[in-house]
Structure formats: C-alpha cells, structure tokens
Amino acid sequence: MSSEEFIRRFGGIYENSPWVAERAAEHVGRSADYDQIARLMADCVDNASYEQQLELIRAHPDLADRATTADELTESSREEQASAGLDQCTPEEVERFRRLNTAYRDKFGFPFIMAVRGKSRAEILDAFEARLANDPAQEFERALQEIHRIARLRLEALGLAHQ
C-alpha cells in the first residue's frame, strides 16, 4: 500500500489528527498487519511532542454533549457514543454529563476521554467521577491510553483484525 493510500485509509483513526497516519505511513511496511499498524500509530503518538499530544486529546468531543452539532462529531465518534447509548440519555443524565464535562475541562484543560464502545452510561459516568480525582499528569497519560484503545477499536471496525 502506498503512503497516500495508507493516509487515506487510516487518516481518521486518531480523532481529527491525520498527522498520526502521515507519520506512520513513512514507516509502515507493505505487509504490515493490524497489530503492527496499531503499534506503529501508537508509537507515533507516544513519541510526539507534549503539544501535539495535547492537541490530539483536545480534538476529541465531550461525551453526550447535545450542544455539539453533527458537523463537529466525526462519524466514528457519533457511532461510538451511540453504541454506548449516549444519544439516548435521560434529561438527568444529560445534566450529569454536562456538569462532569465542565468540571473535568476546568480541572484538566481537555475533554474526558474514554473508549466507550461496549460500556453502559452508568459505567461511563462512574469512570468519569472516579477519574476526576486523578492528578493532571495521571489523567493526561490515561487520556492517551484511552485514545490508543479507541484507535484499536476503529482499526478493528475496518476489519483489519481478521486479515
């Protein structure tokens, strides 16, 4: 696969951050499998500058934010949030998410990141509240770990895990 094809196919794996695929394309072999691509893309993020990592984290939307327009959510984010039922929150849950999103952003300076596919709203809310107790350095690293989980799930959704 050419670099251009790789970027076209994997440019959206990391939320609104095609630079990850662009860097990975420079190093991927012709016969790279799912695990190699996932590791290579994760390495590109892990070896990026703090500023680039922060930009990547900030590229993610708030969870269950009804104020976010459809144009602001990537198709992947919309599907992931819907898979966890975040598009079906009760008014009370919407308010709880709103309060938690605000508290989290105020404390850490970036959105709460969690790989929500396969999780319930209650699990997400519990994790949200628990992680508010973390210090900023812990939560920055946790956000990157969650972003890597999201990327792996997105790669799986492309069918790469079975090639």
Phi-psi region of 92 (alpha: psi -120 to 50; beta: other; left: phi over 0): alpha
Q: Is 60 a catalytic residue?
A: yes
Q: Of the listed 27, 60, 148, 162, which one is catalytic?
A: 60
Contacts of 161 (CB under 8 A, 6+ apart): 34, 155
- Helices (H), ranges, the chain: 3-10, 19-25, 34-46, 50-58, 75-83, 91-108, 121-131, 136-157
- DSSP letter (8 states) at residue 61: P
Q: Which of 121, 115, 112, 111 is nearest to 157 (CA)?
A: 115
Give the C-alpha separation, 162 to 96, whole Å: 38
What token pair was written down for 113?
């990141």
Q: How far apart are the first and last CA of the chain?
A: 14
- Any idea which residues carry the catalytic annotation? 60
